[in-house]
Amino acid sequence: MGTAEAILASKIVAVVRLDDYSRAVDVARALHAGGVVTLEFTLTGRGAIEAVSETRAALGDSVRVGIGTALTAADTRSAIDAGAQFVVTPALRREVIAVSLQHGVPVACGAFTPTELLDAHEAGSTFVKLFPASLGGPKYIKDVLAPLPFLKIIPTGGVSVENARDFLAAGAVAVGVGGNLVPAASVASGAFGEITRNARAYVEALG
């Protein structure tokens, strides 16, 4: 199964946004234990690219590991060279899409308006990341998909255990979940059991 297919099958991408990724493997193990197997490490934190290669070495094919907040072609190449299996942007970044496609790596390009979402799709983005999803909620996705039903939307930002299923029911193909799933405070204190419990709760909610 390819990475794009794995994302569709798992229906959840854990957006692990940390200032420092020195405990990334521990976070990945905790998420995996709870049934969340698609992980995004964002370039806003120190050591994100190294965390990709370390996590893949530690957990192998049991997880899919990507890089987030990719803004440039150089960022994208560095992440893919380190083993990133997918790439995510917060905005419409054509150069990131182009480099990802050149390397055969799925990309989820961030957008919000119908025009941006369509532009990202037509530029070749595998998925379109609706961000921030909290502004429009599930109804916004349903409204957008009425005239643009071919978009593979992954809402991110504001996805909770309570509303995650609603986003899928509205037509999203998966959801991206950040701080609600992996609180920075839990990582800092080593409360990895809490992260596992959060992961289980989301998996159950989406099941």
The pLDDT tens digits for 149-177 are 999 999 999 999 999 999 999 999 999 99
How far is 53 from 147, CA to CA, in rounded Å? 40
Count Cβ atoms below 10 Å from residue 152 Cβ, excluding itself: 18
In the three-class reduction of DSSP (H, G, I as helix; E, B as strand; rest coil), residue 155 is classed as strand
Domain count, the chain: 1
Q: Out of 5, 116, 122, 129, pick the active-site residue.
A: 129
Looking at 103-206, list the stretches that DSSP marks H as alpha helix, in order from N- to C-terminal side: 114-122, 137-145, 164-169, 184-189, 192-206
pLDDT > 90? residue 59: yes
Please give the residue range of the domain that contains residue 144.
3-206
In the three-class reduction of DSSP (H, G, I as helix; E, B as strand; rest coil), residue 2 is classed as coil
Residue with token string 């480099």? 99
Q: What is the pLDDT of residue 191?
A: 97
Omega before residue 132 within 30° of 0, cis: yes
pLDDT > 90? residue 56: yes
pLDDT > 90? residue 1: no
pLDDT > 90? residue 73: yes
Interval 81-97 mean pLDDT = 97
Q: What is the pLDDT of residue 207?
A: 86
| Catalytic residue status for 129 | yes
Q: What is the pLDDT of residue 110?
A: 96
Give the pLDDT band (50/70/90) at residue 201: very high
201-to-3, 53, 165, 207 alpha-carbon distances in Å: 23, 28, 12, 10
Interval 188-201 mean pLDDT = 97
**CATH (domain of 63):** 3.20.20.70
Q: Out of 11, 40, 54, 152, pick the active-site residue.
A: 40
Which tokens hold the place of 11? 């229906």
Contacts of 1 (CB under 8 A, 6+ apart): 9
Global pTM reads 0.96
| Catalytic residue status for 139 | no
Half-sphere CA count of 38, side-chain side, radius 13 A? 24
Q: Is 2 exposed, middle or buried (0-12, 13-18, 19+ CB in 10 A)?
A: exposed
> Between residues 207 and 101, which one has the greater pLDDT?
101
C-beta separation of 38 from 64 below 8 A = yes
